[in-house]
């Protein structure tokens, strides 16, 4: 199975230090939705893996998260793409759960649900915790320089073998050529 796992905030849509709390605040990054459509049309399964501690912090509820994801799904579908599933961790960072990135629990669940080894899966994120979770689960870590990506690259300590691209569109072009 051809699988790409995407972080949400900073990869697909603009990020905010105040959290994305509503569909009105959810705004796609230029080229990201088209990139997802290209993956879909090339036969890839696309899955989102996102920490959403705003739920655990009481900043928004499940209905609001679902509304944001419905907006994302509709926007991708309008361009001929599909997001096959969205996995999320609703816990605040102090909860010490296994599903919150940088721990690999969310990625392990994705592998189990799709009955696939993640060794050939690309996992695209903009933060070190995205890359660490991907690497620990055996996926191929890919850093994009959108969102927190520039500061993540500058800080260094990236997992071995991490690929780096300007944005999701550039990462997808590489994936489609490999």
The 10s digit of each residue's pLDDT in 108-130 is 999 999 999 999 999 999 999 99
How would you class 78 by CB atoms within 10 Å of its CB: exposed for 0-12, middle for 13-18, buried for 19 or more? exposed
Q: How confident is the model at residue 82 (pLDDT cuts 50, 70, 90)?
A: very high
User: What CA–CA distances, in Å, run from 101 to 73, 120, 145?
Assistant: 22, 20, 18
- Whether the pLDDT of residue 96 is over 90: the answer is no
Kindly state the average pLDDT of the residues 53-76: 97
Helices (H), 98-141: 105-113, 128-136
pLDDT per residue as tens digits for the range 154-176:
999 999 999 999 999 999 999 99
Q: How confident is the model at residue 178 (pLDDT cuts 50, 70, 90)?
A: confident
For 39, the token pair is: 């993956």
Helices (H), the chain: 32-41, 53-56, 62-77, 105-113, 128-136, 149-155, 168-177
Identify the pLDDT of residue 91.
95
Task: For residue 90, give the 3-state DSSP assignment.
Answer: coil
Identify the pLDDT of residue 102.
97
All structural domains of the chain, each given as residue ranges with its CATH number in brackets, are 3-177 (3.40.50.1000)
8 A C-beta contact, residue 92 and residue 53: yes
Identify the pLDDT of residue 137.
97
Q: How confident is the model at residue 95 (pLDDT cuts 50, 70, 90)?
A: confident
Identify the pLDDT of residue 94.
87
> Is 7 an annotated catalytic residue?
yes
Kindly state the average pLDDT of the residues 25-54: 98
- C-alpha 59/C-alpha 15 separation (Å) is 15
- C-alpha 21/C-alpha 55 separation (Å) is 9
> Is 9 an annotated catalytic residue?
yes
8 A C-beta contact, residue 49 and residue 89: no
Identify the pLDDT of residue 112.
97
Residue 101 has a CB neighbour count (10 Å cut-off) of 25
Q: Of 9, 15, 126, 130, which is the active-site residue?
A: 9
């Amino acid at each position: 199975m051809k699988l790409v796992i995407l972080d949400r905030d900073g990869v697909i849509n603009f990020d905010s230090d105040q959290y994305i709390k509503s569909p009105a605040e959810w705004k796609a990054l230029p080229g990201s939705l088209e990139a997802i459509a290209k993956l879909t049309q090339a036969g890839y399964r696309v899955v989102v893996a996102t920490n959403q501690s705003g739920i655990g912090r009481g900043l928004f509820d499940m209905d609001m998260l679902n509304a944001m994801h419905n907006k994302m799904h509709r926007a991708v579908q309008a361009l001929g793409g599909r997001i096959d599933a969205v996995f999320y961790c609703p816990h605040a960072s102090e909860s010490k759960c296994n599903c919150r990135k940088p721990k690999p629990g969310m990625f392990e669940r994705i592998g189990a649900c799709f009955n696939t080894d993640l060794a050939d899966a690309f996992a695209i994120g903009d933060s070190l915790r995205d890359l660490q979770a991907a690497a620990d689960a055996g996926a191929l870590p890919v850093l994009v320089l959108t969102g927190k990506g520039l500061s993540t690259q500058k800080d260094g300590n990236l997992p071995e073998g991490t690929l780096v691209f300007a944005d999701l569109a550039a990462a997808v072009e590489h994936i489609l050529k490999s």
